[in-house]
C-alpha cells in the first residue's frame, strides 16, 4: 500500500500547487518556532524551517511521506514579510520598486517510517519595474496581496510588476517548487506519473 502523502502547511496556495501533481494528500499545520536564529541567512533559515515543519508532523503521521516547505524573501538585505495590510503592502512594494528581490524556498520530504529526509533549496529572482505610487496603489487595490511575501501574486496581476524573472520553477515564488518536489518524491518511491497499482484479482 502506498504511503499517505502529507503537506505540512495550511497555506491554500501550496495546496493548490500540490493538487497539480494529482496525488491524493492530506494537510496539517505544523507547530514550529519561526524565529530567525543568530547569524542565520535567508537560505539557511528556509532550509531549516522546511525540515522542521516536516518533522513536526512525524509523530502524528508515523507511516507517511511528509512535505515541509518554507520561504524567505529578501530585497536589498531586508526580509520581505507578508504585509498583512494595505498600508504595509504599498510600503513594501514602494521599497522594492526598481530593485531585485530573491526568494529562497526550502523544500523537504520526510519518510516518517524510516526517518529518511531529503532537502533542497530553490531560489528565484524577480526584477521589479520602477513603479509609481499610483501604479502600486492600483495594484494593491485590485489584488489585495496582504498574505503574500513580497506583497504580490505572480500567478495573477502581480506579473505586471516585473521587468523579468530568473529561476528554474516559477512555482518557487508561490512557495512550493514542483519540479524539485517531483524529484524528491520520486527519490522516495512516489512518482506522480507511475501507472496505478492493480487491484489483486483484477483482470489484466
Residues 123/168, Cβ–Cβ less than 8 Å: no
pTM listed for this prediction: 0.89
Q: What does the pLDDT read at residue 60?
A: 96
Cell numbers that stand for 131 in this block? 513603479
Give catalytic residues, as residue numbers: 70
pLDDT at 202 exceeding the cut of 50: no
pLDDT tens-digit readout, 142-179: 999 999 989 999 989 999 999 999 999 999 999 999 99
Encode burial over 171-191: b for 16+ CB neighbours within 10 A, e otherwise: bbbbbbbbebbbebbeebebe
What is the chain's mean pLDDT, rounded?
A: 92
CA-to-CA separations, 149 to 26, 31, 79, 184, in angstroms, rounded: 24, 20, 9, 25
Q: Which CATH fold would you assign to the domain 5-187?
A: Maf protein (3.90.950)
Domain-by-domain residue ranges, the chain? 5-187
Q: What does the pLDDT read at residue 69?
A: 97
Q: In which band, very low, low, confident or very high, does the pLDDT at 189 lie, cut at 50, 70 and 90?
A: very high
Amino acid at each position: 500500500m502506498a504511503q499517505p502523502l502529507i503537506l505540512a502547511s495550511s497555506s491554500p496556495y501550496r495546496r493548490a500547487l500540490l493538487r497539480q501533481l494529482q496525488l491524493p494528500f492530506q494537510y496539517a499545520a505544523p507547530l514550529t518556532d519561526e524565529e530567525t536564529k543568530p547569524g542565520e541567512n535567508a537560505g539557511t533559515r528556509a532550509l531549516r524551517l522546511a525540515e522542521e515543519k516536516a518533522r513536526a508532523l512525524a509523530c502524528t503521521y508515523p507511516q507517511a511521506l511528509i512535505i515541509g516547505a518554507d520561504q524567505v524573501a529578501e530585497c536589498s538585505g531586508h526580509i520581505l514579510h507578508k504585509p498583512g495590510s494595505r498600508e504595509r503592502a504599498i510600503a513594501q512594494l514602494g521599497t522594492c520598486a526598481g530593485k531585485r528581490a530573491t526568494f529562497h524556498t526550502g523544500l523537504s520530504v520526510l519518510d516518517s517510517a524510516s526517518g529518511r529526509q531529503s532537502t533542497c533549496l530553490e531560489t528565484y529572482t524577480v526584477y521589479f519595474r520602477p513603479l509609481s505610487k499610483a501604479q502600486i496603489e492600483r495594484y494593491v487595490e485590485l489584488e489585495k496581496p496582504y498574505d503574500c511575501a513580497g506583497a504580490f501574486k505572480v500567478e495573477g496581476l502581480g506579473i505586471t510588476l516585473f521587468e523579468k524573472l530568473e529561476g528554474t520553477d516559477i512555482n518557487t515564488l508561490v512557495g512550493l517548487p514542483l519540479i524539485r518536489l517531483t524529484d524528491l518524491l520520486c527519490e522516495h518511491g512516489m512518482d506522480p506519473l507511475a501507472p496505478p497499482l492493480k487491484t489483486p484479482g483484477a483482470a489484466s
